[in-house]
C-alpha cells in the first residue's frame, strides 16, 4: 500500500504544476473575484473564491470520469455547452456596463455589500467556473497528461483536493489583494473605467467562445 501511495507523487506533482499555471493565468474567474472583492468586501471575494473552488471540484471529478471522451462522442453537447458558457460571460459583461453609480463613503449599503448576498456571490463564482468550457478541456488534458489511463478512486480524490486547494488559495489571495484599502481607494477613483474594462473582458471571452466553434 505504501508503494502505491508513493507512486501517486509523480502524477500529483505534474497535475499540481499544470493546474497552477492554469489558475494563475488571468481569465474570467480572476476578474470575477477581483471585481467582487474591490467593489464589495474581502468576504465577498473569499466567498466567490469558494464558489470557484467548488466548480474546480466538479471539473476535477468530471476530468477523472472522462469528460473528454464524452465530448468526443457527443460533439453537439460540447458545442451547446460552449455557446451557453459564452452567453453567460456576455451576460456578466453587460451587467458590468449597467452597474449603479459608486456608493459614497458612509452609505450603509457599503457595509452589507451593496445588497449582494453571500449566496449570490458564491453562485456567481461557481457558475463563472462551471460555464467555462475551456476549463473542462484543460482539466481533461491535464488528466490525460498527468494521470494514468485508469485513475484509482483514492488518486482521483487526492487530485481533486489538490486542484481545489490551489484554486481556493490563489483566488483568496486575489480577494485579499483587491480588498485592501489602497486597492479599494484606487477602485473607487477608477470604478467606472475598471468596471467597463472587466465588462469588456467578459464580453471578449464570451464572444470568443460563441464565435469559435
Q: Which pLDDT tens digit goes with each residue over 107-117?
A: 444 444 455 78
Query: Residue 198: exposed, middle, or buried by beta-carbon count in 10 A (0-12, 13-18, 19+)?
Result: buried
Residue for cell digits 464570451?
206
Q: What is the pTM of this model?
A: 0.68
Specify the range with the lowest mean pLDDT, choosing from 80-89, 151-160, 183-192, 194-203: 183-192
Q: Compare 53 and 76 and report the one with higher pLDDT.
A: 53
Q: CB of 36 within 8 A of CB of 45?
A: yes
Q: CB of 200 within 8 A of CB of 62?
A: no
Dihedral in degrees, nearest 10, Cα atoms 31, 51, 47, 38: 10
Residues 126-135, mean pLDDT to the nearest whole number: 81
Residue for cell digits 497528461?
145
Q: Which pLDDT tens digit goes with each residue over 18-47?
A: 888 778 877 788 888 988 888 888 899 999
* Sign of the alpha-carbon torsion through 182, 183, 186, 188: negative
Amino acid at each position: 500500500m505504501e508503494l502505491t501511495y508513493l507512486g501517486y507523487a509523480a502524477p500529483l506533482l505534474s497535475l499540481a504544476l499544470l493546474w497552477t499555471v492554469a489558475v494563475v493565468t488571468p481569465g474570467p474567474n480572476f476578474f470575477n473575484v477581483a471585481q467582487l472583492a474591490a467593489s464589495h468586501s474581502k468576504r465577498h471575494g473569499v466567498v466567490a473564491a469558494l464558489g470557484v473552488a467548488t466548480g474546480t471540484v466538479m471539473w476535477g471529478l468530471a476530468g477523472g470520469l472522462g469528460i473528454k471522451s464524452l465530448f468526443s462522442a457527443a460533439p453537439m453537447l460540447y458545442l451547446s455547452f460552449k455557446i451557453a458558457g459564452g452567453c453567460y460571460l456576455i451576460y456578466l459583461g453587460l451587467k458590468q456596463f449597467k452597474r449603479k453609480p459608486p456608493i459614497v463613503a458612509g452609505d450603509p449599503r457599503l457595509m452589507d455589500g451593496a445588497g449582494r448576498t453571500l449566496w449570490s456571490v458564491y453562485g456567481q463564482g461557481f457558475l463563472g467556473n462551471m460555464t467555462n468550457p475551456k476549463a473542462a478541456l484543460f482539466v481533461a488534458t491535464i488528466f490525460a497528461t498527468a494521470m494514468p489511463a485508469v485513475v484509482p478512486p483514492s488518486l482521483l480524490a487526492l487530485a481533486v483536493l489538490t486542484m481545489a486547494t490551489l484554486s481556493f488559495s490563489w483566488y483568496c489571495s486575489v480577494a485579499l489583494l483587491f480588498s485592501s484599502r489602497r486597492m479599494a481607494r484606487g477602485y473607487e477613483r477608477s470604478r467606472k473605467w475598471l468596471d467597463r474594462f472587466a465588462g469588456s473582458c467578459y464580453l471578449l471571452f464570451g464572444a470568443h467562445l460563441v464565435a469559435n466553434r
